[in-house]
Amino acid sequence: MRTHAQAVVIGGGLIGCSILYHLAKFGWTEVVLLERDELTSGSTWHAAANIHGLHDSTNISRLQHYTMALYKELEKETGQGCGVFQPGSLYLAQTEAREHQLRLQEAKARRYKMNFYEVDRTEAERLHPLVDFDGIRCIMYEPEGGNVDPSGVTMAYAAGARQRGAEIHRFTPATATEQQPDGSWIVRTPKGEIRTQWVVNAAGLWAREVAALAGLQLPLIPTEHQYFVTETIPEIATMGRRLPSVADRDGEYYLRQEGLGLLIGAYEQNMKFWAEEGTPQDFGHELFPDDLERIEENVMRAIARVPAVGEVGIKKVINGPMIWSPDGAALFGPVPELKNYFCCNGLIPGFSQSGGLGKLAAEWMIEGEPTLDMFGWDLARFGHWAGKAFTKARVQDQYSHRFKIHFPNEERAAGRPVRTRPAYALQKEMGAQFGLNFGWEHPLWFATKGEPREETVGFTRQNWWEPVGREVRMLRKNVGIIDTSNYAKYSVTGPGAEAWLNALFANRMPREIGRSCLTPLIGKRGGIAGDFTVTRLGQDEFRIFGSGMAERFHQRFFQAVPLPAGTEWRSMTEALCGFNVAGPKSRELLQRLTNAELSTESFPFMRSRRMTVGGIDVVALRVSFTGDLGWELYCSQDKQVALYRMLVEGARELGGGPVGSRGLMSLRVEKGYGSWGREYSPEYWPQESGLHRLIKMDKGDFLNREAYAAIANNPPRETLVMVSIEVNDADATGGEPIFLPDGTPIGQVMSGVYGYSVGMSLALGYIKAGSAKPGDALTVAILGRPHRATLLERPPFDPEGQRLRA
Ligand SMILES: Cc1cc2nc3c(=O)[nH]c(=O)nc-3n(C[C@H](O)[C@H](O)[C@H](O)COP(=O)(O)OP(=O)(O)OC[C@H]3O[C@@H](n4cnc5c(N)ncnc54)[C@H](O)[C@@H]3O)c2cc1C
State the distance from the centre of ligand 1 to the C-alpha of 212, rounded, in angstroms.
19
Query: Which bin fits 675, alpha (ψ -120 to 50), beta or left (φ > 0)?
Result: beta
Please, which residues bridge with residue 433 across strands? 445
State the distance from the centre of ligand 1 to the C-alpha of 370, rounded, in angstroms.
23
In this structure, the residue with its CA closest to atom 7 of ligand 1 is: 49
In this structure, the residue with its CA closest to atom 10 of ligand 1 is: 349
Pick the atom of ligand 1 nearest to 205's CA.
30
Q: Does residue 452 have a pLDDT over 90?
A: no
Give the pLDDT of residue 284.
83
Bridge pairing between strands 528-538 and 516-522: antiparallel
The CB density around residue 622, as the number of other CB atoms within 10 Å, is: 24
Pick the atom of ligand 1 nearest to 14's CA.
25
- What are all long-range contacts of 256-261, with beta carbons under 8 Å and residues at least 24 apart? 256/48, 256/50, 256/146, 256/147, 257/85, 257/87, 258/229, 259/229, 259/232, 260/232, 260/233, 260/236, 261/229, 261/230, 261/231, 261/232, 261/233, 261/236, 261/312, 261/315
In this structure, the residue with its CA closest to atom 19 of ligand 1 is: 350
Residue 144 CB-density burial (10 A; 0-12 exposed, 13-18 middle, 19+ buried):
buried
Bridge pairing between strands 192-201 and 341-345: parallel
Q: Which of 10, 22, 44 best tests ligand 1's pocket when mutated (most atoms within 8 Å of CB)? A: 44
Give the pLDDT of residue 744.
97
The fraction of the chain above a pLDDT of 70, given in percent, is: 100
Pick the atom of ligand 1 nearest to 346's CA.
26
In this structure, the residue with its CA closest to atom 21 of ligand 1 is: 44
Rounded Cα distance between 367 and 373, Å, is 14
Per residue in 494-540, pLDDT (tens digit) is 999 999 999 999 999 999 999 999 999 999 999 999 999 999 999 99
Rounded Cα distance between 516 and 587, Å, is 19
Pick the atom of ligand 1 nearest to 348's CA.
19
State the distance from the centre of ligand 1 to the C-alpha of 244, rounded, in angstroms.
25
- The angle at the Cα of 662, spanning 658 to 668, to the nearest 5 degrees, equals 95
State the distance from the centre of ligand 1 to the C-alpha of 285, rounded, in angstroms.
11
Q: Which of 206, 228, 287 best tests ligand 1's pocket when mutated (most atoms within 8 Å of CB)? A: 206
Per residue in 414-447, pLDDT (tens digit) is 999 999 999 999 999 999 999 999 999 999 999 9
The fraction of the chain above a pLDDT of 90, given in percent, is: 99
Per residue in 536-593, pLDDT (tens digit) is 999 999 999 999 999 999 999 999 999 999 999 999 999 999 999 999 999 999 999 9
- The angle at the Cα of 212, spanning 211 to 215, to the nearest 5 degrees, equals 100
> Which amino acid is present at 401?
H
- Beta strands in 475-552, from DSSP E residues, in sequence order: 480-483, 488-493, 516-522, 528-538, 541-546
Q: Does residue 147 have a pLDDT over 90?
A: yes
Residue 733: phi, psi to the nearest 5?
-130, -10
Rounded Cα distance between 6 and 28, Å, is 7
Rounded Cα distance between 745 and 789, Å, is 14
State the distance from the centre of ligand 1 to the C-alpha of 691, rounded, in angstroms.
42
Rounded Cα distance between 537 and 584, Å, is 26
**Going by C-beta distance under 8 Å and a sequence separation of 6 or more, which residues neighbour residue 717?**
685, 688, 768, 769
Pick the atom of ligand 1 nearest to 225's CA.
1
Per residue in 644-697, pLDDT (tens digit) is 999 999 999 999 999 999 999 999 999 999 999 999 999 999 999 999 999 999
Q: Does residue 285 have a pLDDT over 90?
A: no
Give the three-state DSSP class for 706.
Answer: helix
State the distance from the centre of ligand 1 to the C-alpha of 373, rounded, in angstroms.
25
Q: Is the peptide bond before 741 cis (omega within 30 degrees of 0)?
A: no
Pick the atom of ligand 1 nearest to 172's CA.
43
Average confidence (pLDDT) over 332-355: 98
State the distance from the centre of ligand 1 to the C-alpha of 12, rounded, in angstroms.
9
Per residue in 160-211, pLDDT (tens digit) is 999 999 999 999 999 999 999 999 999 999 999 999 999 999 999 999 999 9
Rounded Cα distance between 364 and 369, Å, is 4
State the distance from the centre of ligand 1 to the C-alpha of 754, rounded, in angstroms.
43
DSSP H or E stretch at residue 354: helix 350-367
Q: Does residue 453 have a pLDDT over 90?
A: no
Average confidence (pLDDT) over 736-747: 97
User: Is there a contact between 197 and 5 (Cβ–Cβ < 8 Å)?
Assistant: yes
State the distance from the centre of ligand 1 to the C-alpha of 473, rounded, in angstroms.
51
Please, which residues bridge with residue 491 across strands? 543, 570
* pLDDT, mean over the chain: 97
User: Is there a contact between 648 and 577 (Cβ–Cβ < 8 Å)?
Assistant: no
Q: Which of 55, 351, 354, 402 best tests ligand 1's pocket when mutated (most atoms within 8 Å of CB)? A: 351
Pocket of ligand 1 (CB under 6 A): 10-16, 34-37, 41-44, 46-50, 173-174, 202-206, 210, 225, 227, 318, 320-322, 347-352
Residue 308: phi, psi to the nearest 5?
-60, -25
In this structure, the residue with its CA closest to atom 14 of ligand 1 is: 47
Give the pLDDT of residue 470.
98
The CB density around residue 491, as the number of other CB atoms within 10 Å, is: 17
Average confidence (pLDDT) over 355-363: 98
In this structure, the residue with its CA closest to atom 27 of ligand 1 is: 204
State the distance from the centre of ligand 1 to the C-alpha of 278, rounded, in angstroms.
15
Give the pLDDT of residue 335.
98
State the distance from the centre of ligand 1 to the C-alpha of 290, rounded, in angstroms.
19
User: Is there a contact between 157 and 80 (Cβ–Cβ < 8 Å)?
Assistant: no
State the distance from the centre of ligand 1 to the C-alpha of 225, rounded, in angstroms.
12
User: Is there a contact between 200 and 249 (Cβ–Cβ < 8 Å)?
Assistant: no
Rounded Cα distance between 766 and 769, Å, is 9
> Which amino acid is present at 802?
Q
In this structure, the residue with its CA closest to atom 42 of ligand 1 is: 173
Using 50, 70 and 90 to split pLDDT, how confident is the model at 450? confident
Pick the atom of ligand 1 nearest to 203's CA.
34
| Count of H-run helices and E-run strands, the chain | 20, 37
